[in-house]
Amino acid sequence: MAMRISNKILNGLIQQANRELSNSNAYLSMSLWFQDRELPGSAQWCKTQSDEERMHGLKIFDHIVKRRAKGALVHAIGQQKFSYDDPLQIWEKALEQEQLNSVAIMDLVRQAREEGDYTTDTFLQWYVAEQLNEETSVKDILENAKRVAATTGLYVTFDSQITRKPH
């Protein structure tokens, strides 16, 4: 019975996989924005996150295939426009994106439990833990970015290097 999957769960997994791919695209756009402004650290972080989000989507499609479910479709992302005025907007958008993703995953977990689909429930537990890590990481970056913005970034940069200064 581990291979049995309802159409409702299947559709939810397909939507989640496509959400992960859309998030990958958003992080790639964020990375390019940072590259354009010669902020290589943030650009690299977002590019790596883009790769991870893509892997998350593919992992869900692999799960669907393993269960011999039919109908897994990659949806066209459509034209997305990403326009930001400053790094804070990017990190706020990234946090919002991660929080929405967490809600969607929790909804899938709830649905799987209601249907007694313990295979999907178990599979999704990795995503539950991953979302905690991702929300925490982005929240930390956002809080640091707010502090940098408040001080124009100069003191925070100096402070991060101060322990390497000779006495």
What is the model's pLDDT at position 155?
52
Question: Is residue 2 assigned to a domain?
Answer: no
Is residue 167 a known part of a binding site?
Answer: no
Is residue 143 a known part of a binding site?
Answer: no
Percent of the chain at pLDDT exceeding 90: 59
Alpha-helical runs (H) found in 37-164 = 40-66, 87-115, 118-150, 154-161
What is the model's pLDDT at position 158?
45
What is the model's pLDDT at position 40?
86
For residue range 38-47, what is the model confidence (pLDDT) as tens digits? 888 888 999 9
Q: Does the pLDDT of residue 157 top 50, yes or no?
A: yes
Question: Is residue 116 assigned to a domain?
Answer: yes
Question: Is residue 92 assigned to a domain?
Answer: yes
Question: Is residue 59 assigned to a domain?
Answer: yes
Is residue 92 a known part of a binding site?
Answer: no
Question: Is residue 142 assigned to a domain?
Answer: yes
Is residue 98 a known part of a binding site?
Answer: yes
Average of pLDDT values for 73-88? 73
Question: Is residue 27 assigned to a domain?
Answer: yes
For residue range 103-143, what is the model confidence (pLDDT) as tens digits? 999 999 999 999 999 999 999 999 999 999 999 999 988 88
Task: Report the CATH number that the domain containing residue 40 is assigned in CATH.
Answer: 1.20.1260.10
Question: Is residue 1 assigned to a domain?
Answer: no
Q: Could you tell me the residue range of the domain that residue 125 belongs to?
A: 7-75+84-164
Question: Is residue 20 assigned to a domain?
Answer: yes
CA pair distance 56, 124, nearest whole angstrom: 11
Is residue 20 a known part of a binding site?
Answer: yes
CA pair distance 48, 28, nearest whole angstrom: 9
CA pair distance 36, 2, nearest whole angstrom: 48
Please count the structural domains in the chain.
1
